[in-house]
């Protein structure tokens, strides 16, 4: 996030210690979220995956993490998952869609429908500009599509009575966030329309992976204004530490209250 200097970050004590360290370095996380409803068991985004190759970030190649063991130990074995939702089709959101068995990529969640945005899917299928992105599509998206497990959905798709998608475009052309309404309470899973709580302070802070920077900034401004000072729990797809909090106004800025 080039515009967020260490000096700027240190001026924002509410970021420390959860979202930045004392030196002003930002902390982030790559994780999956599981949403359980009376009808469905939904994994939102699937991280980096194991055994993947051709990734631009060196440490994202040939990983051998205990993701599935951890999920199983938490009570969510892969075969119990009936829905996988990809907020978008970037490398750190589709990795565990598949796993390597022998020399083949097979769906990690064999009993799940994989929900992907129609626009998003088409964009990445037709994108041949960068080898690393083509590799992601080939090993983490195409195999589940070929297995007949993908449902292409619109950006305002409703999954259950409690869970629906909302379009939050800019980071990618078909990006969605996830609205949860349950027993009188509300939550929003961000996906990557934002990456770090410092963007509440300045929605103009962008990361280089935003496909359309101006649209991404406009989306952040719109969503922040809509959710500020509401009881909605904001659950960050890349927020470190406590991962979730309430969005509050702070003068002419916003911050996350955890």
Q: Report, in Å, the least distance between residue 232 CB and Zn ion.
A: 21
Query: Among residues 183 and 208, whose Cβ is nearest to Zn ion?
Result: 208
Window 100 to 119, contacts with Zn ion (CB under 5 A)? none
How far are the Cα atoms of 50, 85, 95 from residue 60, in angstroms, in the given order?
9, 21, 10
Query: What does the CA dihedral 159, 164, 166, 167 come to, rounded to 10 degrees?
Result: -10
Give the interface size with Zn ion as a residue count (CB under 5 A).
2
Q: Tell me the closest approach of the beta carbon of residue 111 to Zn ion, in angstroms.
A: 26
Residue choice 32, 92, 117, 188 for contact with Zn ion (CB under 5 A): 92
* Pairwise CA distance, residues 191 & 184, whole Å: 23
**For Zn ion, the closer CB: 48 or 228:** 48
**How would you classify residue 151: left for phi > 0, otherwise alpha for psi between -120 and 50, otherwise beta?**
beta
Q: Are 244 and 258 in contact (CB under 8 A)?
A: yes
Tell me the closest approach of the beta carbon of residue 209 to Zn ion, in angstroms. 7
Considering only residues 155 to 214 of the shown chain, the ones binding Zn ion according to CB under 5 A are 192
Return the range that interacts with Zn ion (CB under 5 A); candidates 9-17, 88-96, 117-125, 163-171. Answer: 88-96
First to last CA, the chain: 22
Positions touching Zn ion (CB under 5 A) are 92, 192
């Amino acid at each position: 996030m080039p515009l967020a200097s260490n000096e700027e970050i240190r001026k924002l004590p509410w970021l420390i210690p959860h979202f930045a360290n004392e030196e002003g370095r930002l902390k982030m996380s790559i994780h999956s979220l599981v949403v359980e409803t009376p009808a469905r068991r939904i994994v939102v985004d699937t991280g980096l995956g194991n055994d993947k190759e051709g990734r631009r970030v060196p440490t994202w190649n040939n990983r051998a993490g205990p993701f599935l063991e951890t999920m199983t130990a938490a009570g969510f074995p892969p075969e119990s998952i009936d829905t996988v939702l990809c907020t978008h089709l970037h490398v750190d959101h589709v990795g565990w869609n598949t796993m390597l068995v022998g020399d083949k990529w097979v769906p990690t969640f064999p009993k799940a429908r994989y929900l992907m945005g129609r626009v998003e899917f088409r964009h990445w299928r037709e994108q041949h500009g960068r080898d690393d992105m083509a590799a992601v599509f080939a090993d983490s998206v195409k195999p589940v599509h070929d297995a007949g497990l993908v449902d292409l959905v619109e950006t305002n798709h409703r999954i259950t009575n409690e869970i629906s998608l909302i379009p939050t475009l800019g980071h990618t052309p078909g990006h969605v966030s996830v609205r949860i309404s349950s027993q009188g309470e509300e939550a929003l899973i961000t996906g990557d329309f934002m990456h770090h709580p410092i963007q509440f302070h300045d929605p103009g802070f962008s990361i280089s992976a935003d496909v359309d920077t101006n649209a991404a900034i406009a989306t952040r401004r719109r969503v922040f204004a809509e959710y500020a000072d509401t009881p909605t729990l904001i659950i960050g797809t890349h927020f470190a530490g406590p991962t979730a909090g309430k969005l509050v106004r702070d003068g002419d800025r916003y911050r996350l209250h955890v």
